[in-house]
Amino acid sequence: MALQAGIVGLPNVGKSTLFNAVSNSAKAQASNYRFCTIEPNVGLVNVPDERLNVLTTLVVPERIVPTQIEIVDIAGLVRGASKGEGLGNKFLANIREVDAIIHVIRCFEDENILRDEGAINPVGDKEIIDTELQLKDLDSVEKQLQKKEKQAKTDSKIKVEVEILQRCKAHLEQGKSIRSLELSKEDKAVVADLFLLTDKPVLYVANVDEPSMHTGNKFSEALKEAVKNEAAEVIIMNNSIEAQISEMEDPDDKALFMDEYKMKEPALDRLIRSAYQLLGLNTYFTAGVQEVRAWTFHNGWKAPQCAGVIHTDFEKGFIKAEVIAYNDFVKYKSEAGARDAGKLRIEGKEYLVKDGDIMHFRFNV
Protein backbone atom coordinates (compact mmCIF):
# COMPACT_ATOMS: atom_id res chain seq x y z
CA MET A 1 0.00 0.00 0.00
CA ALA A 2 2.18 2.82 -1.31
CA LEU A 3 0.45 5.80 0.26
CA GLN A 4 2.52 8.97 0.23
CA ALA A 5 2.88 12.06 2.39
CA GLY A 6 4.69 14.91 0.65
CA ILE A 7 6.92 17.37 2.52
CA VAL A 8 6.33 20.87 1.16
CA GLY A 9 7.22 24.44 2.07
CA LEU A 10 9.06 27.54 0.89
CA PRO A 11 12.77 27.24 0.05
CA ASN A 12 15.17 26.85 3.01
CA VAL A 13 12.62 26.07 5.71
CA GLY A 14 14.13 22.67 6.58
CA LYS A 15 12.23 20.30 4.28
CA SER A 16 15.19 18.22 3.13
CA THR A 17 16.68 18.17 6.65
CA LEU A 18 13.39 16.74 7.87
CA PHE A 19 13.32 14.22 5.03
CA ASN A 20 16.85 13.08 5.91
CA ALA A 21 15.73 12.56 9.47
CA VAL A 22 12.58 10.53 8.72
CA SER A 23 13.74 8.46 5.80
CA ASN A 24 15.46 5.15 6.45
CA SER A 25 16.07 4.33 2.79
CA ALA A 26 17.24 7.55 1.15
CA LYS A 27 19.11 10.73 1.95
CA ALA A 28 18.17 14.08 0.46
CA GLN A 29 20.74 16.80 -0.15
CA ALA A 30 20.22 19.64 2.33
CA SER A 31 21.94 22.88 1.28
CA ASN A 32 21.42 26.58 1.73
CA TYR A 33 20.30 27.69 -1.71
CA ARG A 34 17.01 27.89 -3.56
CA PHE A 35 15.66 24.81 -5.31
CA CYS A 36 18.27 22.52 -3.78
CA THR A 37 15.65 19.79 -4.22
CA ILE A 38 14.58 19.52 -7.86
CA GLU A 39 13.60 15.91 -8.42
CA PRO A 40 11.49 14.69 -5.49
CA ASN A 41 13.28 12.32 -3.13
CA VAL A 42 11.25 9.34 -1.94
CA GLY A 43 11.93 7.29 1.17
CA LEU A 44 10.15 4.43 2.91
CA VAL A 45 9.59 5.21 6.57
CA ASN A 46 8.87 2.73 9.36
CA VAL A 47 5.84 3.71 11.43
CA PRO A 48 6.84 3.61 15.13
CA ASP A 49 4.47 1.36 17.06
CA GLU A 50 5.18 0.19 20.60
CA ARG A 51 2.61 -2.59 20.17
CA LEU A 52 4.93 -4.27 17.66
CA ASN A 53 7.70 -4.30 20.28
CA VAL A 54 5.36 -5.78 22.91
CA LEU A 55 4.20 -8.54 20.55
CA THR A 56 7.81 -9.29 19.66
CA THR A 57 8.68 -9.74 23.33
CA LEU A 58 5.78 -12.16 23.79
CA VAL A 59 6.16 -14.19 20.59
CA VAL A 60 9.97 -14.01 20.09
CA PRO A 61 9.78 -14.34 16.29
CA GLU A 62 12.59 -14.92 13.82
CA ARG A 63 11.97 -11.51 12.27
CA ILE A 64 9.98 -8.31 12.82
CA VAL A 65 8.41 -6.30 9.99
CA PRO A 66 6.97 -2.85 10.77
CA THR A 67 4.47 -1.13 8.53
CA GLN A 68 5.63 1.78 6.38
CA ILE A 69 4.54 4.88 4.50
CA GLU A 70 6.34 6.78 1.76
CA ILE A 71 7.65 10.25 2.46
CA VAL A 72 8.33 12.49 -0.54
CA ASP A 73 10.60 15.54 -0.35
CA ILE A 74 9.28 18.00 -2.93
CA ALA A 75 11.07 21.08 -4.31
CA GLY A 76 10.46 24.38 -2.49
CA LEU A 77 7.58 26.47 -3.77
CA VAL A 78 7.79 30.24 -4.30
CA ARG A 79 5.27 33.01 -4.79
CA GLY A 80 3.89 32.81 -8.32
CA ALA A 81 4.34 29.04 -8.66
CA SER A 82 0.79 28.69 -9.99
CA LYS A 83 1.90 30.89 -12.90
CA GLY A 84 5.11 28.94 -13.46
CA GLU A 85 7.52 30.90 -11.24
CA GLY A 86 10.51 28.98 -9.89
CA LEU A 87 9.84 25.29 -10.34
CA GLY A 88 6.13 26.01 -10.11
CA ASN A 89 4.60 23.59 -12.57
CA LYS A 90 6.97 20.80 -11.54
CA PHE A 91 6.24 21.39 -7.86
CA LEU A 92 2.50 21.37 -8.41
CA ALA A 93 2.65 18.22 -10.50
CA ASN A 94 4.65 16.45 -7.79
CA ILE A 95 2.35 17.51 -4.97
CA ARG A 96 -0.70 16.40 -6.96
CA GLU A 97 0.54 12.80 -6.72
CA VAL A 98 0.77 12.60 -2.91
CA ASP A 99 -2.08 11.59 -0.59
CA ALA A 100 -1.35 14.04 2.25
CA ILE A 101 0.80 17.09 2.86
CA ILE A 102 3.40 17.71 5.56
CA HIS A 103 3.84 21.49 5.43
CA VAL A 104 7.14 22.62 6.98
CA ILE A 105 7.18 26.22 8.16
CA ARG A 106 10.20 28.11 9.44
CA CYS A 107 9.65 29.36 12.99
CA PHE A 108 13.13 30.55 13.91
CA GLU A 109 15.44 33.47 13.14
CA ASP A 110 18.89 32.92 11.61
CA GLU A 111 20.52 35.57 9.47
CA ASN A 112 22.82 32.95 7.95
CA ILE A 113 19.95 31.10 6.26
CA LEU A 114 18.62 32.68 3.08
CA ARG A 115 15.04 33.93 3.03
CA ASP A 116 13.39 35.63 0.05
CA GLU A 117 10.28 36.77 1.89
CA GLY A 118 11.89 39.18 4.39
CA ALA A 119 11.27 38.94 8.14
CA ILE A 120 10.20 35.61 9.63
CA ASN A 121 6.46 35.29 9.19
CA PRO A 122 5.10 31.73 9.53
CA VAL A 123 1.50 32.78 8.90
CA GLY A 124 2.52 34.67 5.76
CA ASP A 125 4.56 31.67 4.59
CA LYS A 126 1.59 29.38 5.09
CA GLU A 127 -0.64 31.75 3.14
CA ILE A 128 1.81 31.91 0.22
CA ILE A 129 1.59 28.17 -0.31
CA ASP A 130 -2.15 28.10 0.37
CA THR A 131 -2.70 30.82 -2.23
CA GLU A 132 -0.61 29.12 -4.90
CA LEU A 133 -2.39 25.81 -4.40
CA GLN A 134 -5.79 27.54 -4.39
CA LEU A 135 -4.99 29.39 -7.61
CA LYS A 136 -3.95 26.17 -9.30
CA ASP A 137 -7.13 24.45 -8.11
CA LEU A 138 -9.20 27.41 -9.29
CA ASP A 139 -7.68 27.05 -12.74
CA SER A 140 -8.54 23.32 -12.77
CA VAL A 141 -12.10 23.92 -11.57
CA GLU A 142 -12.75 26.72 -14.06
CA LYS A 143 -11.60 24.60 -17.00
CA GLN A 144 -13.80 21.70 -15.88
CA LEU A 145 -16.71 24.06 -15.28
CA GLN A 146 -16.52 25.45 -18.80
CA LYS A 147 -16.59 21.93 -20.17
CA LYS A 148 -19.52 20.82 -18.00
CA GLU A 149 -21.58 23.96 -18.71
CA LYS A 150 -21.47 23.14 -22.42
CA GLN A 151 -22.50 19.54 -21.74
CA ALA A 152 -25.34 20.66 -19.44
CA LYS A 153 -27.07 22.36 -22.36
CA THR A 154 -27.91 18.95 -23.81
CA ASP A 155 -27.79 16.77 -20.69
CA SER A 156 -29.79 17.87 -17.65
CA LYS A 157 -28.01 15.37 -15.39
CA ILE A 158 -24.79 17.36 -15.79
CA LYS A 159 -26.41 20.37 -14.09
CA VAL A 160 -25.77 18.80 -10.67
CA GLU A 161 -22.05 18.58 -11.48
CA VAL A 162 -22.09 22.20 -12.63
CA GLU A 163 -23.58 23.29 -9.31
CA ILE A 164 -20.88 21.45 -7.34
CA LEU A 165 -18.13 22.95 -9.47
CA GLN A 166 -19.63 26.43 -9.01
CA ARG A 167 -19.56 25.92 -5.24
CA CYS A 168 -15.89 24.90 -5.43
CA LYS A 169 -15.08 27.89 -7.61
CA ALA A 170 -16.78 30.36 -5.23
CA HIS A 171 -15.00 28.80 -2.24
CA LEU A 172 -11.57 29.04 -3.87
CA GLU A 173 -12.22 32.63 -4.98
CA GLN A 174 -12.72 33.49 -1.30
CA GLY A 175 -9.18 32.29 -0.61
CA LYS A 176 -10.35 29.07 1.05
CA SER A 177 -9.13 25.52 0.51
CA ILE A 178 -11.45 22.78 -0.76
CA ARG A 179 -10.85 20.63 2.34
CA SER A 180 -12.78 23.27 4.35
CA LEU A 181 -15.80 23.06 2.01
CA GLU A 182 -18.61 20.76 3.11
CA LEU A 183 -19.03 18.19 0.36
CA SER A 184 -20.88 14.90 0.50
CA LYS A 185 -19.27 11.68 -0.67
CA GLU A 186 -21.26 12.01 -3.91
CA ASP A 187 -20.17 15.64 -4.33
CA LYS A 188 -16.51 14.70 -3.89
CA ALA A 189 -16.85 12.04 -6.58
CA VAL A 190 -17.67 14.82 -9.06
CA VAL A 191 -14.31 16.54 -8.54
CA ALA A 192 -12.25 13.45 -7.68
CA ASP A 193 -10.62 13.22 -11.10
CA LEU A 194 -9.32 16.80 -10.74
CA PHE A 195 -7.05 15.71 -7.85
CA LEU A 196 -7.46 19.10 -6.23
CA LEU A 197 -4.39 20.15 -4.27
CA THR A 198 -6.27 21.95 -1.49
CA ASP A 199 -8.45 18.91 -0.82
CA LYS A 200 -5.49 16.99 0.61
CA PRO A 201 -5.20 16.70 4.41
CA VAL A 202 -2.37 18.76 5.93
CA LEU A 203 -0.04 18.34 8.91
CA TYR A 204 2.01 21.41 9.90
CA VAL A 205 5.58 21.17 11.17
CA ALA A 206 6.84 24.24 13.03
CA ASN A 207 10.62 24.08 12.63
CA VAL A 208 11.87 25.98 15.69
CA ASP A 209 15.27 26.78 17.23
CA GLU A 210 16.79 24.63 20.00
CA PRO A 211 15.56 26.74 22.96
CA SER A 212 11.99 26.44 21.66
CA MET A 213 11.86 22.74 20.82
CA HIS A 214 9.80 21.83 23.91
CA THR A 215 7.77 24.97 24.50
CA GLY A 216 7.45 26.55 21.06
CA ASN A 217 7.85 30.28 20.52
CA LYS A 218 5.94 33.32 19.28
CA PHE A 219 6.24 32.09 15.69
CA SER A 220 4.84 28.62 16.35
CA GLU A 221 2.07 30.10 18.50
CA ALA A 222 1.10 32.42 15.65
CA LEU A 223 0.97 29.42 13.33
CA LYS A 224 -1.23 27.46 15.74
CA GLU A 225 -3.61 30.39 15.97
CA ALA A 226 -3.77 30.70 12.18
CA VAL A 227 -4.72 27.03 11.65
CA LYS A 228 -6.99 26.52 14.68
CA ASN A 229 -10.09 26.31 12.48
CA GLU A 230 -8.55 23.81 10.05
CA ALA A 231 -8.73 20.81 12.39
CA ALA A 232 -5.02 20.43 11.60
CA GLU A 233 -2.24 19.34 13.93
CA VAL A 234 0.89 21.44 14.47
CA ILE A 235 4.01 19.52 15.51
CA ILE A 236 6.83 21.55 17.05
CA MET A 237 10.33 20.25 16.40
CA ASN A 238 13.89 21.20 15.62
CA ASN A 239 14.63 19.50 12.32
CA SER A 240 18.40 19.68 12.75
CA ILE A 241 18.32 17.95 16.15
CA GLU A 242 16.01 15.27 14.76
CA ALA A 243 18.38 14.67 11.85
CA GLN A 244 21.27 14.18 14.27
CA ILE A 245 19.28 11.67 16.33
CA SER A 246 18.30 9.69 13.24
CA GLU A 247 21.96 9.31 12.20
CA MET A 248 22.97 7.69 15.50
CA GLU A 249 23.24 3.92 15.20
CA ASP A 250 24.22 3.17 18.80
CA PRO A 251 21.10 3.05 21.02
CA ASP A 252 23.08 4.18 24.07
CA ASP A 253 24.47 7.21 22.25
CA LYS A 254 20.99 8.07 21.05
CA ALA A 255 19.57 7.74 24.56
CA LEU A 256 22.29 9.97 26.02
CA PHE A 257 21.78 12.57 23.31
CA MET A 258 18.03 12.62 23.86
CA ASP A 259 18.47 12.77 27.63
CA GLU A 260 20.67 15.83 27.16
CA TYR A 261 17.80 17.54 25.35
CA LYS A 262 15.20 16.16 27.81
CA MET A 263 13.43 14.18 25.09
CA LYS A 264 11.31 11.09 25.87
CA GLU A 265 11.13 10.16 22.19
CA PRO A 266 12.16 11.78 18.90
CA ALA A 267 9.59 14.30 17.70
CA LEU A 268 9.91 12.43 14.41
CA ASP A 269 8.07 9.48 15.90
CA ARG A 270 5.10 11.73 16.65
CA LEU A 271 5.32 13.20 13.17
CA ILE A 272 5.32 9.81 11.43
CA ARG A 273 2.45 8.49 13.54
CA SER A 274 0.48 11.67 12.88
CA ALA A 275 1.13 11.46 9.14
CA TYR A 276 -0.02 7.82 9.20
CA GLN A 277 -3.25 8.80 10.95
CA LEU A 278 -3.66 11.79 8.63
CA LEU A 279 -3.83 9.33 5.73
CA GLY A 280 -6.70 7.53 7.47
CA LEU A 281 -4.63 4.42 8.13
CA ASN A 282 -4.73 1.77 10.86
CA THR A 283 -2.64 -1.29 11.68
CA TYR A 284 -3.43 -4.94 12.27
CA PHE A 285 -0.86 -7.59 13.14
CA THR A 286 0.04 -11.15 12.28
CA ALA A 287 2.03 -12.87 15.01
CA GLY A 288 3.85 -16.19 14.78
CA VAL A 289 7.27 -17.65 15.57
CA GLN A 290 8.47 -17.02 12.03
CA GLU A 291 7.34 -13.40 11.89
CA VAL A 292 5.58 -10.64 13.78
CA ARG A 293 4.38 -8.13 11.23
CA ALA A 294 2.35 -4.94 11.09
CA TRP A 295 -0.04 -4.47 8.14
CA THR A 296 -1.63 -1.22 7.00
CA PHE A 297 -5.32 -0.87 6.24
CA HIS A 298 -7.79 1.98 5.74
CA ASN A 299 -10.31 3.03 8.35
CA GLY A 300 -13.58 1.19 7.72
CA TRP A 301 -12.12 -1.79 5.86
CA LYS A 302 -13.69 -5.21 6.33
CA ALA A 303 -11.86 -8.47 6.93
CA PRO A 304 -11.59 -9.58 3.26
CA GLN A 305 -10.09 -6.23 2.22
CA CYS A 306 -7.55 -6.45 5.02
CA ALA A 307 -6.71 -10.01 3.99
CA GLY A 308 -6.04 -8.68 0.50
CA VAL A 309 -3.26 -6.49 1.89
CA ILE A 310 -1.24 -9.67 2.44
CA HIS A 311 -2.15 -11.20 -0.93
CA THR A 312 -4.97 -10.71 -3.42
CA ASP A 313 -5.72 -14.46 -3.21
CA PHE A 314 -6.52 -14.03 0.49
CA GLU A 315 -9.29 -11.59 -0.39
CA LYS A 316 -10.64 -13.57 -3.36
CA GLY A 317 -10.86 -16.82 -1.43
CA PHE A 318 -11.64 -15.39 2.01
CA ILE A 319 -13.48 -17.83 4.30
CA LYS A 320 -13.06 -16.42 7.79
CA ALA A 321 -10.70 -14.54 10.08
CA GLU A 322 -9.45 -15.60 13.48
CA VAL A 323 -9.19 -12.42 15.56
CA ILE A 324 -7.70 -11.57 18.94
CA ALA A 325 -7.89 -8.02 20.30
CA TYR A 326 -4.45 -6.61 21.06
CA ASN A 327 -5.18 -6.08 24.78
CA ASP A 328 -6.40 -9.66 25.12
CA PHE A 329 -3.31 -11.04 23.39
CA VAL A 330 -1.10 -9.06 25.80
CA LYS A 331 -3.17 -10.03 28.85
CA TYR A 332 -3.02 -13.75 28.09
CA LYS A 333 0.52 -13.52 26.66
CA SER A 334 -0.04 -15.69 23.55
CA GLU A 335 -2.50 -16.90 20.95
CA ALA A 336 -2.94 -20.14 22.88
CA GLY A 337 -3.60 -18.27 26.10
CA ALA A 338 -6.19 -16.03 24.43
CA ARG A 339 -7.88 -19.05 22.82
CA ASP A 340 -8.06 -20.89 26.15
CA ALA A 341 -9.62 -17.81 27.72
CA GLY A 342 -12.26 -17.67 24.98
CA LYS A 343 -10.86 -14.46 23.52
CA LEU A 344 -10.16 -15.77 20.01
CA ARG A 345 -13.13 -14.87 17.79
CA ILE A 346 -14.17 -16.20 14.40
CA GLU A 347 -15.26 -13.33 12.16
CA GLY A 348 -16.79 -13.35 8.66
CA LYS A 349 -16.83 -11.12 5.60
CA GLU A 350 -18.70 -8.24 7.25
CA TYR A 351 -16.31 -7.82 10.16
CA LEU A 352 -14.91 -4.29 10.43
CA VAL A 353 -11.27 -4.71 11.37
CA LYS A 354 -10.12 -2.69 14.38
CA ASP A 355 -6.79 -1.01 14.89
CA GLY A 356 -4.47 -3.39 16.75
CA ASP A 357 -6.31 -6.64 15.92
CA ILE A 358 -4.11 -9.73 15.73
CA MET A 359 -5.44 -11.74 12.80
CA HIS A 360 -5.11 -15.05 11.01
CA PHE A 361 -6.99 -15.54 7.74
CA ARG A 362 -8.52 -18.71 6.35
CA PHE A 363 -8.97 -18.76 2.61
CA ASN A 364 -9.47 -21.11 -0.31
CA VAL A 365 -8.48 -20.40 -3.93
Instruction: Give the E-state strand segments of 176-219 in sequence order.
Output: 202-207
The annotation status of 12 as a binding-site residue, yes or no, is yes
- Start-end of H helices in the chain: 15-22, 50-59, 88-96, 122-152, 158-173, 185-191, 218-226, 239-247, 251-260, 267-278, 303-310, 312-316, 326-332, 335-340
Q: What is the C-alpha separation between 84 and 139, in angstroms, rounded? A: 13
Q: Rounded to whole angstroms, what are the CA distances from 339 to 60, 281, 325, 329, 332?
A: 19, 28, 11, 9, 9
The annotation status of 80 as a binding-site residue, yes or no, is no
The annotation status of 118 as a binding-site residue, yes or no, is no
By C-alpha distance, which of 231, 197, 230, 32 is closest to 129? 197
Q: What is the C-alpha separation between 261 and 295, in angstroms, rounded? A: 33
182, 192 contact by CB (below 8 A): no
Residue 317 burial class via C-beta count within 10 angstroms: exposed 0-12, middle 13-18, buried 19 and up: middle
DSSP-assigned states of every residue in 47-102: ---HHHHHHHHHH--SEEE--EEEEEE-PPP-TTGGGT-TTHHHHHHHHHT-SEEE
The annotation status of 205 as a binding-site residue, yes or no, is no
The annotation status of 14 as a binding-site residue, yes or no, is yes
Instruction: Give phi and psi for 145, each to the nearest 5.
Output: -65, -45
4, 99 contact by CB (below 8 A): yes
Q: What is the C-alpha separation between 288 and 222, in angstroms, rounded? A: 49
Q: Rounded to whole angstroms, what are the CA distances from 131 to 32, 39, 106, 323?
A: 25, 23, 18, 47
The annotation status of 364 as a binding-site residue, yes or no, is no
Residues in the chain: 365
CA-based diameter of the chain, in Å?
71
- Annotated binding site, which residues? 12-17
List residues forming the annotated binding site for ATP. Answer: 12-17
